[in-house]
Amino acid sequence: MKKIGSLKEFACTPDRFQGGHRLCPGCAHSMIVREVVNATDDDLVISTATGCLEVCSAIYPYTSWDVSWIHIGFENAAAAIAGAEAMHKALARKDRLYNDDRRVKFVAFGGDGGTYDIGFQSLSGAVERGHDFLYVCLDNENYANTGGQRSSATPIGAHTSTTPRGRVSYGEKQRKKDLTMIMAAHGCPYVATAIPGSKHWKDLATKAAKAISTVGPTFINALSPCTTEWKFKPEDTVEIADLAVETCAFPLYEIEDGHKLTINYRPKQKLPIEEYLGAQGRFSHLFKPENKWIIEEWQKQVDEYWDYLQRREEAGV
């Protein structure tokens, strides 16, 4: 496992995901991806589900990757990496590895659409079969690649292009699906949440290093603030991510062996949810008097979940 020390040290890592890609200015996806691929010195084979990261990092005739990479479809990043990992096992057994002096690790990236929704079956299957890989969900809570449609990761009250706010609607009606817990319930040896937040670059890199070096299927759900669809200024990406953890809208925790939960960050003073919601255009309508109850509901859910996490951690279950 690569030791993640100071940022001064980490920044000496030769970057394996390069610029010249076509992601939006200020996109959190590439912040997360860079930290993940730089969190190990082992060679990598990566699969990526159809989505922003995929279309923007491999627009023919260009690739942004310094590591082996494959994209097949929207719903099969996990199956694709499972196949590559199986091939690695087979060739190792048959003594036919291409560079047997090097260690190879397997990572899959998918957006929330490709992970929570259409790719969930393939992810669940690959994890259940115990392939040795890390799956990173770049959770920007909507189908940003196709113009901001809702996904099952979209939180209540959010305006999206398929759950627009309107004269009679306040936007998305359902709560965000708790995918991290669902993945933990698969019995993965390691599951964690992460963000590209100013205080939390090390939390993310350490989690990635830990997950990659863990034998078996591991999962990181990384909140990826989307400047375009969440409607905030590109330079504020890191700040929005910070607000998500300071309000406990997206708490940072990890679960080992399917049950042992550890909270990785506790805000000194939990900020009210308005701070997070108010910073994003997708929630601006919630501040109208008639929608006040949604913010109250949000706060209640956040408090309950935060309480639940703390009680689980305390009980060691």
For another protein, the binding residues in 32-51 under the rule CB under 8 A are 34-35, 43-45, 47
Q: Is 305 in the site for another protein (CB under 8 A)?
A: no
Contacts with another protein in 63-82 (CB under 8 A)?
63-73, 75-76, 78-82
Q: Considering the rule CB under 8 A, would residue 4 count as an interface residue with another protein?
A: no
Report the nearest approach of another protein to the CB of residue 20 (Å).
Answer: 3
The answer to the question of residue 255 lying near another protein (CB under 8 A) is no
Site for another protein in 190-219 (CB under 8 A): 196, 198, 201
Structure tokens at 29: 């996806």
Q: Does 187 engage in binding with another protein (CB under 8 A)? A: no
What value, to the nearest 5°, has the Cα angle with vertex 57 and ends 116 and 46?
60
144 to 49, 55, 134, 200: CA distances (angstroms): 13, 12, 23, 24
Contact 246, 271 (CB under 8 A): yes
Residue 15 near another protein by CB under 8 A: yes
Which residue matches tokens 């929570």? 116
Number of shown-chain residues binding another protein (CB under 8 A) = 89
Residues 6 or more apart in contact with residue 27 via CB below 8 angstroms:
52, 224, 226, 227, 237
- Asked whether position 60 contacts another protein by CB under 8 A, the answer is yes
Q: Which of 3, 98, 268, 269 binds another protein (CB under 8 A)?
A: 98
Contact at 8 Å (CB) between 96 and 141? Answer: no
Q: Please, what is the minimum distance in Å from the beta carbon of residue 145 to another protein?
A: 11
Q: Give buried/exposed letters for 213-243 (b at 16+ CB in 10 A, else e).
A: bbebbbbbbbbbbbbbbbebeeebbbbbbbb
Compute the distance between CA of residue 135 and CA of residue 258 in angstroms, rounded to an integer. 15
Q: Which of 173, 233, 292, 311 binds another protein (CB under 8 A)?
A: 233
Judged by CB under 8 A, which of 30, 142, 193, 247 binds another protein?
30
Binding mask 122-151 for another protein (x = CB under 8 A): x-xxx-xx----------------------
> Which one of residues 3, 8, 167, 268 is an interface residue with another protein (CB under 8 A)?
8
Amino acid at the residue 199? K
- Residue 1 interacts with another protein (CB under 8 A)? no
Q: Which of residues 163 and 224 has its CB atom nearest to another protein in the complex?
A: 224
Q: Which of 2, 4, 36, 57 binds another protein (CB under 8 A)?
A: 57
Q: What distance in Å separates the CA atoms of residue 91 and residue 106, rounded to the nearest whole number?
A: 15
